[in-house]
Structure 1
Amino acid sequence: MYTGTALFDLLLPGDSRSLKAKRSYVRPIVAALRKFEVSAAEVGALDLHGRAEIGVAVVAAEPAHVREVLDSCERLIAARPETELLSVRRRLHGADD
């Protein structure tokens, strides 16, 4: 069994100056990520306007599948025109870890 996590640091548009506006950008991204059957949530920069950190976790039998799913999640986030993907941090854990 292998688990993989990814933390996506996002820059949101300038009009996300309220937490309500921020949620209007983050909520659809998290919903779209869940279509990949991953756990996804806003996990950081909760009280910062204009920034968001979204975490994704996946469990699979093979490390290649974990990488494929995380690659798909990254492509989905990077393709969103309203946000800018600043950084991605990934981790892969196996049964021996």
Structure 2
Amino acid sequence: MSVRRAARGRPGLERHPGNGPGIPAPLLSRAHPLWSDPEAARELFAAYLPDDDAGHIADRRLFHTVTQRWAFAHGYASRHDPHAIDWPRWQAALDAEHQRAGEQG
């Protein structure tokens, strides 16, 4: 977490192991604390929310929209259907995260 984000009390984009780029912690679960602050989520994932979309996506859809767009941008979704997440790769990343958490805790 950057010093600036830590000062604001907002989570950063910690990376986790998996097949391909690590999945940011907020995308691992809808229950992540970031999603209780939609403005912070919009700021953190601004690259996945074009200006014309950012204000129009309902807070309750923000997690799903960002997850789909991030997955497509990082190779976790089909090039032919950006909404079709490659669940085996995604699950491998989740399993790696759970294993890492078990080793630490």
TM-score (norm 1): 0.29
More strand by share: 1
Q: Which has the higher contact order (CA 8 A, sep 6+)?
A: 1
More helix by share: 2
